[in-house]
Amino acid sequence: MTFPENVRYTKDHEWILVSGSTGTVGITDYAQGELGDVVFVELPPVGKVVKQHDSFGTIEAVKAVSDLYAPVSGSIIEVNKELASVAEIVNKDPYGKGWMVKIQLSSPAELGTLLDAAAYKALIGK
């Protein structure tokens, strides 16, 4: 299980990697492991405005369906279209090709409310 130091984490098991005013969002390695084999990911349309902690989509695995929560507020500027046909990428590469959406941040200060890798590991008991 990996915990990249260059991303911030939510208590709901999403991660965000920020570059400038854009954040790339996905679910953590821990979350994909708990879900099991991912079979479907429902993502929002480009242009949708989300608020921090609001659901922006769902992820379906063999075991369960779970909501995906926005780590920050902003506008969806890109979705990972590859997940529509190859959802299992989330299991294989959660911090790389398994990303879900890119958000144009509207409140960068919200990043300060997220967890670093050490705090996230403590949250999940690792």
For the chain, domain boundaries: 8-109
Residues 18-25, mean pLDDT to the nearest whole number: 97
- Fill in the amino acid letter for 24: T
Predicted confidence band at 126 (pLDDT cuts at 50, 70, 90)? confident
Predicted confidence band at 48 (pLDDT cuts at 50, 70, 90)? very high
CATH code of domain 8-109: 2.40.50.100
Residues 14 and 43 sit within 8 Å (Cβ to Cβ): no
Question: 28, 30, 100: which is closest to 58 by C-alpha?
Answer: 100
Whether 19 has a pLDDT exceeding 90, the answer reads: yes
**pLDDT: is 64 or 120 the higher one?**
120
**Distance between CA atoms of 45 and 122, rounded to whole angstroms?**
34
Q: Which range (60-64, 87-91, 104-108, 119-123) has the least confidence? A: 60-64
Q: What is the pLDDT of residue 16?
A: 98
Q: For residue range 74-90, list pLDDT tens digits in order.
A: 999 999 999 999 999 99
3-state secondary structure of 93: coil
Residues 26-48, mean pLDDT to the nearest whole number: 96
Which two structure tokens, joined as six digits, stand for 57? 């989509």
Q: What are phi and psi of 35, to 5 degrees?
A: -70, -35
Residues 35-42, mean pLDDT to the nearest whole number: 95
| Global model pTM greater than 0.85 | yes
